[in-house]
Chain A
Amino acid sequence: MCSSGAIINVGHSDPPIKIEKAWINDVPICHPGAAVDLYIGATSMSERQPFEYGGGHVIEDLVSGKEVELKATAYGTDCYPRTQVKTRLKKDDLNQFYLLNFRNCYQRYNCAVNGSDETIYTYMGKLLPRLRNATFSGAGELNPLMNDPDYETIGIGTRIFLGGTQGYVISEGTQHDPQNRFGTIMVRGDAKKMSPEFLRGASFTAYGNTLYVGLGIPIPILNEGLAKKAAIRDEEILTNVVDYSVPRKDRPKLAQVSYKELKSGTITVNDQRIKVSSLSSLKTARKIAGTLKSWIENGKFFLTAPVERLPADSVFKPMRQTAETPFVASVMQTAVTCYANEEIRAIAERIVTRSVNHIIIVDDDNKLDGIVTSWDITRAMAEGKTALSEIMTRRVVTAKPDEPLEAASRRMAQHNISALPVIDAKRKVLGIITAEDVSKLLGR
């Protein structure tokens, strides 16, 4: 899971440094607290090998006992005079090395497909065009939160299997959404005791880096109700098939499928049979369950009662956006137009009286014919030209009213121009946007 990482304390150097920026094996590391506490985020990417090596790999390397290189810089203070440090560290050199994952163990997750005409690369892996493959994640009937959906035994303080050793649930996870059966947990464990078999750095092409985390939770069957809930089967666990080619928060849901279908290797969406495969390792999930069972049987692992329950009614809210995302329509102005048969002198007059720099040339149906700027007119006058048709630009770069302003602004910059006529599907001129108006709104 991407929302994973490790907190480390690297000890004080002599003279001491109050780290401002840090890198381990070229991966930028967060510095959230005092002088030498660092958080290695699983998704942080190497500056030299982005997408191929990241924070997840740094954690895996440290856990495996490998030496990593720390580089840090600082501004220097009277108490922390040092401004840079470079050293090599192993896990035994660290004071604390705790895996601290703020969102793990999703109760269930979407099944991802791609309805567009091009391959896309997502956090759900590589998705082939026109629904030619599908991916899913999660262990279905083996998922702990699915087996204890009302959090009767899983809560704050629950001892768990984490990365090959014993860890704890410390909270509900971020984005915990229990009412929609998208529950999550926050976990912590001593990474020095973990094993790379259950903690793996990973690379998702053209998406980024992450960490695979092995996690298991024992659920004591305390009553009949729990026995019934823990007996849940894959066929009872449903999830949505979601089109990831739509780049919005709420993506289209194309179908509903069960984990039984997902694990069968084929799902059917609108009569189309689609090959589906898992992104998380079911083999490792089984191994974790078996290992945890043997620990309990051999008296190496003791069950705990939660010290506090996890919320069962919290909601996962979208971002409050105080600024509206601007579209072309929001800055579009009325265009000053003319016809191709007009004289240059008449256009020059219009530029002055209407105080604009761009005149759009339209035909009798108000369809886009071309564009002319005050500079074009000045040059034409200097060269003694009189016909507009001689100087107008006919291949015009345009904008659509419903496209994001960012996209239109980028296009102006790419073509090194200062205005775009806004047209509809029939090429009728609706208005004009200028670089000046865009910069006023986007603040650049």
Chain B
Amino acid sequence: MAKPTTAEIILEHKVPINIITAHVTSKGGDYLVDIPDESLETVVTAFRKKGATVTLPKLIEIDKDKCFNCGACVSICPVEAITVDEDNSVNFDQETCVGSTCSACVEACPARAIKSVKQNNHELSNNAH
């Protein structure tokens, strides 16, 4: 029978874990979770101890050689993860980006410099057997 791994970790470490997506069956499942920065290490270690596979995904990849800093992606981003700085360079903030569930910037890029990193559910999984 499956153990409530996520619930146990939340209780044991008193850390808020925000589940973004989840695919769960009686045999186990995959979660995409948001963990506060300060408890990242503790939580990842705890999951791994309980037998879960944990990966820390990059959400969006920008090819700096292809990007020519036009800015077409900036106004499209719903969470302001893409900004233009003082010297007109386009900047991307991994922390703010919501990733593959959004990917609005990918098709808006005329240079095709942005790739959404596919969230591989098996690599990300919390195999709570």
Contact = CB atoms under 8 A, between A and B. Distances in A.
Contact of B68 (A125, A128, A212): A212
Contact of A278 (B70, B87, B112): B70
Contact of A135 (B72, B107, B111): B72
Given A203-B110, A284-B68, A277 B87 contact: no
Nearest to B83: A265
A275 B70 contact: no
B70 to A, nearest CB: 5
A205 B107 CA distance: 6
B76 interface: yes
Contacts of B90: 283
Contact of A281 (B71, B73, B76, B108): B71
A279 interface: yes
Contacts, number: 73
Interface string A273-306: 0111111111110100000000000000000000
B69 interface: yes
Interface in A188-239: 200, 202-205, 210, 212
B74 interface: yes
B112 A277 contact: no
Interface string B108-121: 10111000000000
Contact of A200 (B74, B108, B111): B111
B21 interface: no
Interface in B75-129: 75-76, 84, 87-90, 104, 107-108, 110-112
A277 B88 contact: no
A200 B68 contact: yes
Interface residues of B, number: 20
B111 A202 contact: yes
Nearest to B73: A277
A134 interface: yes
Task: Determine chain B's interface SS by DSSP, over half rule.
Answer: loop
A284 B88 CA distance: 9
Between B68, B70, B87, B104, the greatest number of chain A beta carbons within 10 A of the residue's beta carbon is seen for B70
Contact of B88 (A200, A212, A282): A282
Contact of A212 (B70, B74, B87): B70
Given A126-B107, A276-B75, A52 B87 contact: no
Contacts of B84: 265, 277-278, 282
A279 B110 CA distance: 9
A286 B88 CA distance: 9
A133 interface: yes
Given A126-B107, A281-B88, A275 B68 contact: no
Given A126-B107, A202-B110, A134 B68 contact: no
A134 B75 contact: yes
A135 B76 CA distance: 9
A283 B89 contact: yes
A128 B76 contact: yes
Contacts of A210: 110
Contacts of A276: 75
Given A125-B110, A275-B74, A286-B87, 6 more contacts: A125-B108, A128-B76, A210-B110, A280-B70, A283-B69, A283-B88
